[in-house]
Structure formats: structure tokens, C-alpha cells
Structure 1
Amino acid sequence: MHQPSLFQSFFLGGFECSTHRRGDGRRLDLLAATGHDRWAAHDYATLQQHGIRSARDGLRWHLIERTPGRYDWSSFLPMLRTAQEQGTQIIWDLCHYGWPDDIDVWRPEFVERFARFAAAAARLVREETGATAYYSPINEISYWAWAGGDQGHFNPMGLGRGAELKVQLVRASIAAIEAIRAVDPAARFVQVDPAIHVCASSDRPGPQREAENYRQVQFEAWDMLCGKAWPGLGGKPEYLDIVGVNYYSDNQWYHGGCTIPVGHADYRPFQGILAELHQRYGRPLLIAETGAEGDARGQWLRYVAEQVGLAMQRNVPIEGICLYPILDYPGWDDERHCPTGLLGFADAEGRREVHAGLADELRLQRTRFGLLEPQSHAAAVI
């Protein structure tokens, strides 16, 4: 059975850090909307009370580089130092759907500017911490290409340009990795994208080949990064360091139809999806995002954890499960209260209500995976 070794705790917490612009032009800032930028110290400390000593968090590029080539770290440095002081290990998202307003994402300058920003951020992290750093260069390349490049749901509001945006984001991720490694050769990278399953309905027989072709699209960005596809982009196996798998209850559906519910005959067990990813890439896996809303939170964690445990028994190298988002948040489009987190909205002192059902299930699963928890945290990784 695989023994995880990369993160300080098997269960991680993910702080929603999207900074994209909606179709109406409004820029979102979820770190501010959830109050995490203000209450990071409280949040990290609370997670540690629940045995979570590693997390995903993010930099807000649009705040840091308002003027080309000039970096204002005031929105990031307090979070970085707080994590360092408290011994919380962070995977830092460098670009979570947003970028500075003066950049055209379709132009070569986007790649060049992002690489310089990534190097500057890595230099700061190295100087502040001196420890091995973990980064997610560009969050969800495939999903962003679909939502922002094909469907126009958010920036860059593209229609039918998903493949073009995907290639551009892969270029930017590769450039950022090279720039960071020039500063910090020991840095590690998590390449995060959704894992999905798509099939034709067994009740209404449909085009199996079309469904399978759609399912295969989930691998394109990872394939480009490691050089399996579009080798002219410069992909190499080392760019696919850690595969970050995002998985929710609606990640399986019928081609052109509805979601496949868990337990249905057509629902593919998550352990099989994980085994396929490992067989395809041979890299460590992190469940980089998973969660549910409302009272389903605990039950969903139980399902995911059970499937992860079964996959690990088959020697699939899974390094952890990240509860994401770990905080309740206002919905991207309608600002509704999305009750997804272990923790709720902060009060005036930064205190957050704990969701009892998810906390209980997390406690149970931490006990189950307890023997897999790292035994020493002396060399904290920030």
C-alpha cells in the first residue's frame, strides 16, 4: 500500500481563490469575499485543530502586479508569513482564472509576464521560508479552456476558442515552471484539472464513440504538459510532477444529458478513475478538490475517502485529499450562500461556525487514514 510522504497531513483544506471576471465585467476576489485574506491566521489555526496542516491557497496576480514589472506583495506576504509562523504547509495557486487588466491573455506577452511573475513569487517564497515550495501554476487548464474559451462563462469570454486557450495556458504553465526552477530547483508542482466520466445512456442508446471522445478530452492538458500531445509546445514528463484531481458529485454525466448519480449502474467508481490516471501518467496523485453542499458534505467525503482507500490498496500513489472549498463562499454568478465548507462565514472576530456533519466524518476518516499521516513535521514545507 502506498505511503504518502509529500504533505504534512493526508487531509488538506482548500481556500477558494478565484479572481476571474464575470460576463458582466465584475472581477471576483474570493479570498476577500470569504474573509480569508483578513482572517488567514484564524483559518489556518482552526484547520490545525481539525488535523489539517496542509492547504491550497492563492496569490492574486491582479493585485500584485498592477503596473507591469512592479510587484506589490502586500496582499500575499501576510498570508505567507502567517503560514510560516503556524507551520501550515501551502500549495500556492499562482493563477486561479484571473490576471492583470493590462494583459491580453491571447498574446505571447501573457506567457512572458506570467513567467516573470512566477519567478518573482518563487524568489519571495524562498527568501521568506527557505523550504521546499509547492505551486499550482495555472488552475484547471481544461475547465478554464472550456468555461472561458468555449462557452464564454467568464474571462476571456471566448466562444469556440477553447483549444486555443488551452494551448496558451499550457505554454504559460511550462514557462512558469522553468522560471520557478531557475530560482528554486527543488520546487514541486501540482497540475490541477477535473477528472470526469462521460458515457452514452444505457436507457437511451446513443453514440458511444462521441461520448468516449468527449471523455478523452479531460487528458489533453496533462498530455500537453508531459509531451504526449502537441510536443511542439515543449512539454516534458517532468512538467507533470503531481497530478491534481478535482472530483465532485456532478463529474459524471451522459453525453448530452443529465448527471449520473452515485450508485447507478452507469456510475464509474472513483477508484477506477484514479487507477486509470496513475496507469496513464505514472505520477503521484492528489485529490486537489472535492466536496459537496449542505448535509451531503459528510456523506460525500465518506464516499471519496473509501474510494481513495481502495485505490491505495491497489498501490495507486495518492498523496492526500483536499476538502475544497474549506470555507463557505458566495456563489460566482449570484452571490448566494454556498454551504460547502468545513467552516462557515467569519464573524467580526474571525470566528467561523464548524459544520458538525463534515467535522465528524473528517474525524472518522482521519482515524481511518491515521497510519498514513506523516510521523514528523520538523521540516515544515511552506
Structure 2
Amino acid sequence: MTSLPLFSKVSSLIAPQAFWWSTGIEDTFITEPWPSTGRILDEYELTGHYARWSDDLALVAALGVKTVRYGIPWHHVEPERGQWDWSFPDKALGRLIDLRIDPIVDLVHYGLPPWLKGAYLNPEYPDRVAEYASRLAARFQGRIFWYTPLNEPRITAWYCGRLGWWPPFRRGWSGFIEIMMAIARGIVRTVQAFRATDPDILPVHVDATDLYETRDPALTDEVERRQEIVFLALDLVSGRVGHEHRLWPWLLKHGAREEDLAWFQENAVDLPFIGLNLYPMFTKKRLQREARGRFRIRQPYASGDLVAQLGRLYHARYKSPLFVSETASVGSVAKRQRWMDDSIASVRQLRSEGVPMVGYTWWPMFDMVAWAYRQGTKKPADYFAAMGLWDLNPATLDRTPTPLVSSYQTYVAGGASAVGPLNFVAR
């Protein structure tokens, strides 16, 4: 890729004939042990990817995809502050480049190195993550152009700040906002580091999507507020959170400072691509009232139209090219196949409407270990989530192909024709 103005680079990737089929390997890294079990959560270790990385990347190539979302374990790259070990990214990312597969590199997927005390609330976090990003970008300059600064900032803030399950173990909405502000600042600093290191880099901002609904008119305001919170990370980093923002009073009420919010407006970054992480079993949220007057959230299994609903929402708000950056269904092969077919049909519908949906990612490529493992006591195989194109053998961790492999290969081989033309007019 040669150096081009940002608009030209983006435009070349949203041409009618362009569509990126992709996959990825679950790469959650939580390095802090759960107090009662002593367990950490390193998906690459639990699924055997560290040992099988070469074979796994050969499976990626066998799908025919030209793009893969791929995470780098910062805690291994920088095991002690200032001590760098590039052996894993050198061999894994180098192999993808040799295979002519463009990685979208996940810099941070929830977890941080243990030496970064206080995790996201360490005052040095924004500078440390920017340094990490800059060093990696410089190492692969001219070879890798797509990076995700931080996967799912909202979910990170939820588990680290609202639930208190991940470091630094804050709880409540004030904790959520405190973590979110720190995460968003780190994202901005990372993008700034990319610009200074390699102007050819295109940041790919990926967050978890939720679609809120209710059948109770009394909960309409809460549904609207929750839906706005879904967009908060992207709104912050792109400088959209001003006095007129619907969440402004709520943010100040729960501890955000006006000067910090102003910093994001002064340092706003572009959103050249937005990745939507969505799952039929998690993404739809229905608020309802309990007998005692409190409300609770249910997660009904969604139809394939979920993709179209979310694509329209994000396009209306940001006008950026979109791609499905994670999706899969848990369950039988037949259930996974239905979701694949229905969700891809929904992508086709969006493109016919002129929504610039430019890619689709089946994630994870093979089964993952559910996050409950860290807090549980059973063996890892008891936490396998059947979501992949390949299943994991519980005894050997061998990757067992399912009929989904050939189905996905067929879609990938169809290129953009498998999802129809993009009737998009640049604005």
C-alpha cells in the first residue's frame, strides 16, 4: 500500500468490488488471577494456540480469506516494563504476511501486563500503550497497515469498572465512566502514535454492539440512555461528547470532568473503519420490570435482521465504512449454519440499501473457552463454547473441521458477489 490521503485509502476499500472476508482466534488475556481459584484467562494458552500457531494460521489460509483479526499478547511482548520480546509477533505476524493475509492487529484485548499496576487507571497507561503501539507499528512498517487500538472498550469498562471482575476492580457507573475515560484516552494516544510512526496505518475501531428494546413505556428513557452508552467510546474518541450530548449530565453526575471531556474534543480522531461485534445470543437486550419495581435485562436470541438494524444505526450516526468484526452463534453446527446464512443475508441487504458494510468476520475460528473458566474450578474443556468453524477436541485440543468450514470457504470464494453490490455514494 502506498501513501495516500486517508479518504483515498478508505475509498479504495469500499469500492463495489471490495469486500473483506475474515476470521479470527479468540484472544482474551486477563493476567490477574481470580482470588479464589488462582486462574488467569489466556485464550491462546487454553486453546493451545501458542503451541499450534503455525498450523492455526495454515487453517486461516485454507479458508481463502485475505484478512484476519489477530491479537498480540502484550503481557508476553513486554513481560517487564521496558523489556521487549518480539519473538511471538515476529513469527506469527510474519507468517501471515508470507501467506499474503493482511492482519488487523488487536493491540489490547481486555488484559494488560501485570507490571502496569492499577491497569487502565495507572496514570501512565495512555503513554505506555502508545509506546507499545508505536514500537509494533515501526517494527512492521510497510508490511502491516490495519490495527485495532483496543477491542471492545465498552465491554472492557463494564468488566473492569462496572462489575469489578477484571483489574482494576471498580464497581458501579462511576467506576465504568472512570475506566471508559482512561481507555478512550489510551485509544486517542495510540492513534496519535500511529500517525507519528506510520501515516499509512488505518485504525480499525472495534466495539461490542447492543440493541436495546422494551415493551414497557415507563422504561423508554432507560432504553434510550443504555443505547447511547453503547456508542460512548466511539463518541468520546471522535470528539462528539459536548454539552449537547444526551449523556453529558449523566457523565458529570458520575464523575467525568468537563476538562477531560473537552480534551477529547480537542484531540478528536477519525473513524476510518468501525467494526461491529455482535452475537445473536448476547447482543439484543430487552429491559423489563421485576415485581419489586426494579428492571432487569433479558437477552432473547436474535434473528439475522439484527445485523441490518445495527448497521443502519451506526451508519446514520457515523457515516463510516462498517464491517462485522465478530459474529457467531453458540450451539449445534446446524444452528451456527443458520446464523451464518442469515447474518450474511443481512449484510447483503445493507449493501443494497447503500450502507457501506465492507466486511464480515466469523469469530472465533475455532471454539473458545468461556470466560467463566477464570472463576470456576472445572477443567478447561468443560468451558468450551461451540462457536467455531472448527470444534476443539476436549482431550487433545485438535481442531476438528465441521461442515461450516466448507460453507464459509464457499462464501469467501464468492468475494463481493456473495454479498451483492454496494450501492454507496460517498458523502
Compared CA separation, residues 367 and 70, structure 1 to 2 (3 A): closer
Contact 2:16–2:416 (Cα < 8 Å) also in 1 = no
Moved more, 30-39 or 186-195: 30-39
Which among 376, 386, 392 is matched to residue 345 of structure 1? Answer: 392
Corresponding position of 2:322:
285
Corresponding position of 1:47:
60
Corresponding position of 2:255:
none
Q: TM-score, normalised by structure 1?
A: 0.87
Residue 285 of structure 2 corresponds to residue 253 of structure 1: yes
CA distance in 2, matches of 1:50, 1:75: 23
Corresponding position of 2:148:
136
CA distance in 2, matches of 1:337, 1:208: 37
Moved more, 225-234 or 182-191: 225-234
Q: Which has the higher contact order (CA 8 A, sep 6+)?
A: 1
Corresponding position of 1:355:
402
CA distance in 1, matches of 2:83, 2:101: 28
Corresponding position of 2:195:
181
Contact 2:21–2:415 (Cα < 8 Å) also in 1 = no
Moved more, 40-49 or 186-195: 40-49
From the CA coordinates, give the structure whose radius of gyration is larger.
2
CA distance in 2, matches of 1:69, 1:198: 43
Residue 92 of structure 2 corresponds to residue 79 of structure 1: yes
Corresponding position of 1:10:
20
CA distance in 2, matches of 1:235, 1:43: 43
Residue 302 of structure 2 corresponds to residue 262 of structure 1: yes
Compared CA separation, residues 143 and 259, structure 1 to 2 (3 A): same
Residue 181 of structure 2 corresponds to residue 149 of structure 1: no
Residue 343 of structure 2 corresponds to residue 304 of structure 1: yes
For the residue of structure 2 that corresponds to 1:288, the secondary structure is strand
1:251 maps to amino acid: T
Output the aligned Cα RMSD.
2.6
Which among 107, 115, 120 is matched to residue 130 of structure 2? Answer: 115
Contact 1:286–1:320 (Cα < 8 Å) also in 2 = yes
Compared CA separation, residues 348 and 47, structure 1 to 2 (3 A): farther
Corresponding position of 1:67:
80
CA distance in 2, matches of 1:69, 1:42: 31
Contact 2:19–2:358 (Cα < 8 Å) also in 1 = no
Compared CA separation, residues 132 and 63, structure 1 to 2 (3 A): closer
Corresponding position of 1:243:
274
Residue 198 of structure 2 corresponds to residue 159 of structure 1: no
CA distance in 1, matches of 2:384, 2:16: 33
2:22 maps to amino acid: L
Contact 2:53–2:92 (Cα < 8 Å) also in 1 = yes
For the residue of structure 1 that corresponds to 2:41, the secondary structure is coil
Compared CA separation, residues 235 and 88, structure 1 to 2 (3 A): farther
Moved more, 157-166 or 227-236: 227-236
Q: Percent identity?
A: 25
Contact 2:103–2:144 (Cα < 8 Å) also in 1 = no
For the residue of structure 1 that corresponds to 2:103, the secondary structure is strand
Contact 1:6–1:319 (Cα < 8 Å) also in 2 = no
CA distance in 2, matches of 1:65, 1:243: 28
Give deviations 1:38-68, integer Å, cap 9, x for gaps: 2222222222222222111111111111222
Contact 1:11–1:52 (Cα < 8 Å) also in 2 = yes
Compared CA separation, residues 7 and 139, structure 1 to 2 (3 A): farther
CA distance in 2, matches of 1:348, 1:5: 46
Q: TM-score, normalised by structure 2?
A: 0.78
Flag structure 2 segments of 5+ consecutive residues without an equivalent. 1-11, 242-260, 288-295, 374-379, 420-427
